[in-house]
Structure 1
Amino acid sequence: MEQTTLENFLGGRDQFTVVNYPSNKVLYTNQQIVERAYRCLGEDHYNLVFNNCEHFACWCVTGEKRSEQVRNVMLHSSTAVLSYYALQKYGLLTTTSAPIATTVMTSTGTSVLTHAAAGGQLELALQQLL
């Protein structure tokens, strides 16, 4: 985590989007939000799935590390895996060589990375998740 100018952050782009959180989600004053961000300067724990810039910004404002972008990717990935599983199970898909790697969001908000090849192993991986 480092402090920079808006110009450097934008990297030559002249437009950006401001995310406005619903008032019932904002737990901190503007001053507290800035203080929370400053306390993280120097941290080096970036992770695209679990600790990215959207997680950080949301945490500063709401106290919850959350990324809607990551959640949407996980939702679409898990839907693709379940669809693939259903097609294969009911004989509508016979290919057995296509590997699948995806991340699935559980009901508790944690994610599970699954990697399985079609043809038996996919079914086993899904049974372990369910």
Structure 2
Amino acid sequence: MAESRPVTRDEFEIAIMCALPLEAEAVLYLFDEFWDREGDPYGRSQQDSNEYRTGRIGQDDVFLVILAGMGTINAANAARDLLSSYVKIRLCLVVGICGGVPSPEVSGHDDDIRLGDVVI
């Protein structure tokens, strides 16, 4: 059963950000339906240079933003730009390998952080 497609980008409340194309490709496998198969129906603000994919996961309309590159500056720029286009965001998930996780030695913990771990 196909869900109804959002009419405007103001109806999106969930964002997913990925720094690497490989991470974004993995997230796209979670999409149940795509809203942008025939081009971008929602557009973006003039100052927004992000690349987006829009669709549905379960009952939620979501959009995926792929960062221009890794690092905190690229993430901050992407977040600023996406907020100029998608103004109703309530949840933004940063999905990927999370190279910015503090090392256990610095934080005082001796548990290793391994590939596949979930960090919130």
What TM-score do the two structures reach when normalised by structure 2? Answer: 0.25
- Relative to its length, the structure with more helix (as a share) is 1
Larger radius of gyration: 1
Greater RCO, 1 or 2 (C-alpha within 8 Å, sep 6+): 2
